């Protein structure tokens, strides 16, 4: 699978064009892990953003009640984005549920790309914000269901899916991002 096809399966890289991906992300690698392997332990430093290409990974956290599974990453799932922008201490362990292929993008590569190409940085941040808001919306819907909100109640989504997808060509996308930056 080409680098572009691989990266384009990760929601963080949606709307980045093939030539840009191939230019900036040549230092990525695909790693294979086998069922039961630990990719990262609690004490390990994370220097990569990675996305699952095939297989499943369980994210586990040590709590006062013992080890607790907090998320399962499947194809297209990603991990490490929160360590890219902060000095957060990692408290999770990542374990492979079944044979898995993972695309690893070094943080250094991402940081260099963001410094050299603000358009790609803008796309990445827009995609990240979209994904965070979607997760928040899912959590909000769960809370409303627990509180007994009627099933047929219609609420306005927190984030309009079309906002992020307005630009179709590279030129249109660049103009869209430029217009968005003028508004802020």
pLDDT digits (tens, 9 = 90+) for 57-82: 999 988 888 888 888 998 888 888 87
Residue 79 and residue 120 in one domain:
no
* Residue 144: pLDDT over 80: no
Which range marks the domain in which residue 22 is found?
Answer: 3-109
What's the pLDDT at 37?
95
Higher pLDDT, 25 or 166: 25
Mean pLDDT value of segment 28-47: 87
Residue 25 and residue 96 in one domain:
yes
What's the pLDDT at 132?
80
* % of the chain beyond a pLDDT of 90: 11
Looking at 109, 143, 172, the residue that finishes a domain is 109
| CA pair distance 72, 155, nearest whole angstrom | 28
Residue 146 and residue 83 in one domain:
no
- DSSP, residue by residue, 128-175: HHHHHHHHHHHHHHHHHHHTT--TT-----SS-HHHHT---SHHHHHH
Tokens 């499943």 map to which residue? 56
* Residue 85: pLDDT over 60: yes
Looking at 109, 132, 163, the residue that finishes a domain is 109
| CA pair distance 171, 182, nearest whole angstrom | 17
Q: What is the pLDDT confidence band of residue 177, given thresholds at 50, 70 and 90?
A: low
Residue 20 and residue 101 in one domain:
yes
Looking at the structure of the chain, the number of domains it has is 2
Residue 97 and residue 10 in one domain:
yes
Residue 95 and residue 143 in one domain:
no
Residue 123 and residue 83 in one domain:
no
Residue 22 and residue 61 in one domain:
yes
Residue 53 and residue 19 in one domain:
yes
In this structure, what CATH number is given to the domain that contains residue 81?
A: 2.60.120.10
Residue 98 and residue 34 in one domain:
yes
């Amino acid at each position: 699978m080409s680098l572009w096809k691989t990266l384009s399966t990760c929601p963080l890289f949606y709307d980045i064009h093939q030539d840009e991906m191939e230019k900036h992300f040549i230092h990525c690698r695909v790693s294979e892990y086998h069922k039961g392997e630990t990719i990262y332990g609690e004490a390990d430093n994370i220097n990569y953003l990675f996305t699952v290409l095939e297989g499943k990974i369980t994210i586990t956290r040590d709590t006062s009640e013992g080890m607790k599974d907090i998320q399962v990453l499947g194809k297209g799932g990603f991990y490490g984005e929160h360590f890219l922008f902060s000095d957060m201490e990692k408290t999770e362990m990542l374990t492979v549920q079944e044979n898995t292929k993972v695309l690893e993008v070094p943080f250094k590569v991402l940081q260099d790309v963001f410094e050299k190409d603000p358009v790609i940085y803008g796309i990445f941040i827009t995609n990240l914000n979209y994904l965070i808001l979607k997760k928040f919306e899912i959590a909000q819907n769960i809370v409303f269901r627990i509180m007994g909100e009627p099933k047929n109640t219609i609420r306005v989504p927190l984030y309009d899916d079309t906002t992020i997808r307005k630009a179709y060509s590279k030129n249109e996308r660049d103009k869209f991002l430029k217009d968005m930056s003028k508004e802020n």
